[in-house]
Homo-oligomer: A and B are copies of this chain.
Amino acid sequence: MLNKKNSLFEAFKQTKYQMAGHGKRDIHILKEAFQAVDGEQESDIYGKGKIIEDFQDKMAAYLGKQRAVFFPSGTMAQQIALRIWCDKKGIRKVAYHPLCHLEIHEEDGLKELHHIETVLLADKTRVIELEDVITMEEEISCLLLELPQREIGGQLPDYETLEKISSYCRDKGIKLHLDGARLLEIVPYYNKTVVEICSLFDSVYISVYKGIGGIAGAILAGDQDFTEESKVWKRRHGGDLISLYPYIISADYFFDQRSQKMNQYYEDAKELAELFNSCHAISTLPMEPVSNMFHVHFHAPKEQMESVLIEIYETTGIGLTSYLRETTEEACSYEVSIGDQYAALPKEKVNHVFKLIDEKMRELN
């Protein structure tokens, strides 16, 4: 198994083209972002200075919030956001989806460091709906909505649902926080402005290294009282680094380069999902993507599927994924996030890959 896994990983690394993503996460990313930067520019110093302040102002304006703060990570930014809202209300309880990043990827930092209890809304197969919020019995300080809900392929509630949840929360004195790690990526589907979407939320987090493709880092935005308090917690967490500019300058550079390309990623994702869904024994979740991402489900055992993919990589030079996750004994899946690479792929090569996959899937099943 381990060997197989490594084989797929290695075969993927050898491919000339990859269908998803912006490309390799290598040092070139930093080199490209810094190429045109004046070496005389002074570092930010513990959250102050032109580099960090300018980018924070730019992001605040972009998100339509009073202020924005640059954080080394979303993990840090979001725990802090929830902590501030809990302290404000005096209730250490928040609600979010069972597959929320804080619940499954952060070693329980929220609970271990902030002693915040969590209420899990909806279930692992669907997004949070208005009904889930209204019928919640516990009193909470904050509701976190992740848009799109990554772990279920990047699904979204209707925009109307968002508006109703927002309005309900405001009435009930519940703060609404947006886990917008992939916020830019959902703008085309909702067909709203970023500012409109953010106006439904009291606090907003966005990642600078997913769709934007920076090196690392996050933005947390909200009212000035909120962001000022977040800076205190940032220091407590050990995130108030003397210099964050390697992340800020790269975030700014790739934001300018990619923030306008989200519509293309979205259209490409829909096209690619359709190609998968046209194959035998393959389906995507969601069937029609609502952002640049979706999950691919192969209705074949993981080991068999790995062999199929390795053969396709070696034959075509095109890589689909470096890993497969076993979902059942008879099925496996992986995540697609469309970036710059898909549009650069020769279409006839893409079609050839899908012809091969379809044939192979028919042989297997």
Contacts and interface: CB of A to CB of B under 8 A. Distances in A.
Contact of A245 (B27, B39, B240, B249): B27
A22 to B, nearest CB: 13
Contact of A76 (B25, B238, B243): B238
A138 interface: no
Nearest to A235: B107
A79 B235 CA distance: 12
Contacts of A25: 42-43, 45, 242-243
Interface stretch (A30-38, A286-294, A340-348): A30-38
Interface in A20-58: 24-31, 34, 37-43, 45
Contacts of A243: 25, 209, 215-216
A73 interface: yes
A106 interface: yes
A232 interface: yes
Contacts of A71: 238
B31 A27 contact: no
A44 B31 CA distance: 16
Central interface residue in A43, A109, A238, by most chain B CB within 10 Å = A238
A116 B335 CA distance: 41
Interface string A55-77: 00000000000000001111111
A72 B26 contact: no
Contact of A72 (B72, B215, B236): B72
B39 A236 contact: no
Given A216-B242, A246-B215, A109 B237 contact: yes
Nearest to A49: B25
Contacts of A27: 34, 37-41, 43, 245, 249
A26 B45 contact: no
A113 interface: yes
Given A107-B233, A215-B245, A237-B239, 12 more contacts: A25-B243, A28-B39, A29-B43, A30-B34, A30-B245, A31-B37, A79-B238, A113-B237, A209-B243, A215-B246, A216-B242, A238-B239
5 contacts: A28-B39, A30-B246, A74-B238, A109-B236, A216-B244
Top 9 A-B pairs ranked by shortest CB distance? A76-B238, A246-B246, A109-B236, A75-B238, A28-B39, A25-B43, A73-B238, A216-B241, A107-B235
